[in-house]
Amino acid sequence: MKQRRFSSPATALASVALLGLTACTAPLDSPGSGGGSGSAEPGAASQVIERESEETCTNPTPSDTPISEMVIGFSQSENEQNPFRAVETASVRQAVEEAGAELVYTNANSDQAKQLSDIQSMINQGVDALIVAPISATGLQSAFAAAQEQEIPVVTIDRQTEGTPCEDYITFMGSDFYEQGVRAAEAMVEATGGEGTIAEIQGAPGSDVATLRTEGFSDEIAEHEGLEIVAQQTGNWSTSEAQEVMGQIVSANPEVDGVYTHSDTMALGALTALNNFGKVPGEDVQIVSIDGTADAVQHVASGAIHAVVETNPRFGPAAIQALQDWFSGEEVSQEIIMKDALYTEENAQEALDSGAAY
């Protein structure tokens, strides 16, 4: 199945307007690119903070109002048909509930303009604090400015977006996508014994997440002379595209020893293609992926996928903690990086049973 973005002038002429529109319907970025049918239970594996930045923000006018008397607005970026988003929303919802506060929830459904108006209307409703999962790396300035005017603190989660810390938002919390690439490479080194050829199936071209996952991976692989990346092609976060591309790569490189995919959805496509080719994943070829969806972790448990680096969506407790610190006048780190798990054959079943894999 071919679904590569088509950008010849001929077709651009035919449907110039289309390109803009399809972008709305296509999730362009992981996290949140994930598929899978895992449970959406929050709290099964709560987040652990990996590291925090030294730069902090402090509330110049702390208040005594307990968080339990507050209204907290949450602007989700994409719909919860995506399990990552489902788990994230559930985590925020539960954390707000546990703090005794009231939640106002909106979902922009991948529409940037809607996210702006969502945030604006929550401000108008008089929320005391905002948690925002940005749709993209830019474009939320006007909403941030409106929040700042009302002295409403904003916590951004999962995707970093443009803005000045302490002014536009008080903190960003999320995964370190470069580090994810490095950890995937480490798992690959272990799986292949540091010898062999590797194919990489990347996320959508131009996405920050994909770029960082590529860089982290190749920087680490470069440390190992026995390993060579022989193919780097995009799978656009899509199962079917990844399957097609994997088929083509393995035709050209039948000896390929390792496959690195930027997301679990693409790992599933690669798995099918490798099987079709007659390779036995886990034996002839080692797959390493990122995300931690139940579908993929299942394959880790069965040995077909060697390892999955987790992208943990459970930001609720950390976000509430940051807000509590802010209101009470304590320092809040400007950047909080979450600890992501690594699923291997040893802990995969456990993660599935506990619901940590989503």
How far is residue 352's CA from residue 358's CA, in Å, rounded to a whole number?
Answer: 8
Position of tokens 């034996």?
283
Q: Taking a C-beta distance cutoff of 8 angstroms, is the pair 335, 167 a contact?
A: no
Tell me how many degrees the CA angle 271-273-274 measures, rounded to the nearest 5: 65
Nearer to another protein, 173 or 256 (CB): 256
DSSP 250-277: HHH-TT--EEEESSHHHHHHHHHHHHHH
Query: Smallest distance, Å, CB 123 to another protein?
Result: 27
Nearer to another protein, 100 or 254 (CB): 254
- Number of residues lying near another protein (CB under 8 A): 59
Query: Smallest distance, Å, CB 345 to another protein?
Result: 21
Per-residue contact string for residues 233-272; x = within reach of another protein by CB under 8 A: xx-xxxxxx-xxx-xxx-xxxx----------x--xx--x
Query: Smallest distance, Å, CB 218 to another protein?
Result: 14
Per-residue contact string for residues 6-35; x = within reach of another protein by CB under 8 A: xxxxxx--xx-xx--xx-xxxx-------x
Q: Which of 46, 79, 160, 218 binds another protein (CB under 8 A)?
A: 79
Residue among 231, 238, 197 at smallest CA distance from 214: 231
Nearer to another protein, 276 or 302 (CB): 276
Give the C-alpha distances (Å, rounded to integers) separating 166 from 10, 32, 118, 325. 47, 26, 22, 13
Query: Smallest distance, Å, CB 20 to another protein?
Result: 10
Instruction: Kindly identify the residues of this chain, within the stretch 272-331, that bind another protein according to CB under 8 A.
Output: 272-273, 276-278, 295
Contacts of 180 (CB under 8 A, 6+ apart): 212, 213, 216, 290, 309, 311, 340
Residue among 300, 302, 295, 274 at smallest CA distance from 201: 274
How far is residue 82's CA from residue 322's CA, in Å, rounded to a whole number?
Answer: 26
Residue among 169, 172, 139 at smallest CA distance from 158: 172
Nearer to another protein, 4 or 224 (CB): 4
Instruction: Kindly identify the residues of this chain, within the stretch 113-142, that bind another protein according to CB under 8 A.
Output: none
Query: Smallest distance, Å, CB 71 to another protein?
Result: 29
Nearer to another protein, 7 or 61 (CB): 7
How far is residue 1's CA from residue 351's CA, in Å, rounded to a whole number?
Answer: 32
Query: Smallest distance, Å, CB 347 to another protein?
Result: 23
Copy the structure tokens of residue 214: 């590529």
Query: Smallest distance, Å, CB 242 to another protein?
Result: 9
Nearer to another protein, 25 or 61 (CB): 25
Q: Taking a C-beta distance cutoff of 8 angstroms, is the pair 335, 172 a contact?
A: yes
Name the site residues for another protein (rule: CB under 8 A). 1-11, 14-15, 17-18, 21-22, 24-27, 35-37, 79, 81-83, 205, 230-234, 236-241, 243-245, 247-249, 251-254, 265, 268-269, 272-273, 276-278, 295
